[in-house]
Amino acid sequence: MSFAGKAVLALFWLVLVPWGVGTLFFRKEKTLCHSQCFLIGYLFLFFITELLTLPMIRLKLPLHILSIFYAVIGVGMAGIGIWKRKKERLECSGVRTRLQGISGWLWIAVILIAAQICVASLLAHMDADDAFYVGTATTAVHTDSIFFVNPYTGNPYRNLPSRYILSPFPIFLAVISQLCGGLHPAILAHVIFPAVFLVMAYLVLYQFAELFFPKDADARGIFMILGCVLTWFSGFSIYTSGNFQMIRIWQGKGLLAAALLPLTIWLCVKITMQKKPELPWAFLLLSNGACCLVSSMGIMLSPVTAGIFAVMGAVRYHDPKRIVRCVLCCIPSIVLGAAYVLIK
- Total residue length of the chain: 344
> What is the pLDDT, as a whole number, of residue 55?
95
- Which secondary structure element, helix H or strand E, spans residue 335, and what is its range? helix 331-343
Pick from 239, 248, 256: nearest CA to 292: 256
| Cβ contact 260:294 at 8 Å | yes
Domain span at residue 108?
A: 3-343
Sequence-separated (6 or more) residues with CB below 8 Å from residue 237: 243
Output the pTM of the full model: 0.94
> What is the pLDDT, as a whole number, of residue 240?
86
**Rounded Cα–Cα distance for residues 49 and 294 (Å):** 10
In the chain, which stretches have pLDDT less than 70?
86-101, 344
Structural domains in the chain (count): 1
> What is the pLDDT, as a whole number, of residue 32?
79
**Rounded Cα–Cα distance for residues 129 and 248 (Å):** 9
> What is the pLDDT, as a whole number, of residue 197?
97
Q: Is 106 left (phi over 0), alpha (psi -120 to 50) or beta?
A: alpha
Residue 182's alpha-carbon distances to 99, 131, 138, 244, 303, in angstroms, are 37, 20, 10, 27, 36
> What is the pLDDT, as a whole number, of residue 93?
46
| Cβ contact 249:119 at 8 Å | no
